[in-house]
Structure 1
């Protein structure tokens, strides 16, 4: 049986459509990998414990940081976004840690009064988790 040209064209379009739909998701290049050349990761781990971040988050390498309220921070350095809002880079992470409400008003992440140097060190530690 020979298909009319219109049906053949429709069938061909339907075969190509899944490939177009799948590749459409990749049209935006991923942000560059996060990095933090500044800061002291060891101090950052201690600060995560002192600020009580582990009461909400699971943070590998930080004693008693096994909270389940916020997302686990495992493999944080490999993530593309911070809180689903900001590309994951050192400047954005320091901003998020210092004043999460300015990034996402009403977020469950509280403003803990983390200063610039402390945020830098916490970020440096989180970027070791990849």
Structure 2
């Protein structure tokens, strides 16, 4: 086989492998939140009654229509329409929404830092 064909074949294999690798990463990426556990987040969401205002996938009875639905939260560009969607900003928002946006209808729910981390960890599973 001529060298040029071998080079084209090698390049093709490399590009296919690279594409598969990046697709796999995109499918499985969930931000790691130090001290955050999605299972505990589900429990905290139920305990704090978040589903009274929000529709939240995976939370039985969470079908509220006051606030926005939280489906695909991990893929959104912004938290609350104001902050870049990062774990730090998500936690900041959950801890004190009126401080981030004084005109928000979402009240401060009295979350602990730990609950906010767990809830954020769960919300980032919603892709």
**TM-score scaled by length of structure 1:** 0.72
Tell me what 1:70 maps to.
67
Measure how far apart 1:34 and its partner are. 7.1
Change in CA separation of 1:34 and 1:83 when aligned onto 2, cut-off 3 Å: farther
The 4+ residue runs of structure 1 with deviation greater than 3 A are none
Q: CA deviation at 1:36?
A: 3.0
Which structure is higher in helix share?
2
Deviation at 1:35, TM superposition (A): 1.9
Taking structure 1 as reference, are residues 128 and 47 closer, same or farther at Cα in structure 2, changes over 3 Å only? same
Give ranges in structure 2 of 5+ residues lacking alignment: 1-28
Aligned residues between the structures = 98
Matches within 5 A, 1:52-63: 52-63=49-60
Structure 1 regions of 5+ residues with no counterpart?
A: 1-32
Alignment partners' CA distance in 2, 1:53 and 1:79: 19
Larger-gyration structure (1/2): 1
Does 1:91 find its partner at 2:98?
A: no
Picking from 74, 79, 94, the partner of 2:76 is 79
Distance 2:106 2:52 in 1: 12
SS of the counterpart of 1:120?
helix
Q: CA deviation at 1:107?
A: 0.7
Please tell me the root mean square deviation across aligned C-alpha atoms, in Å.
1.3
1:37 maps onto 2:39 in alignment: no
Q: Is 1:109 matched up with 2:106? A: yes
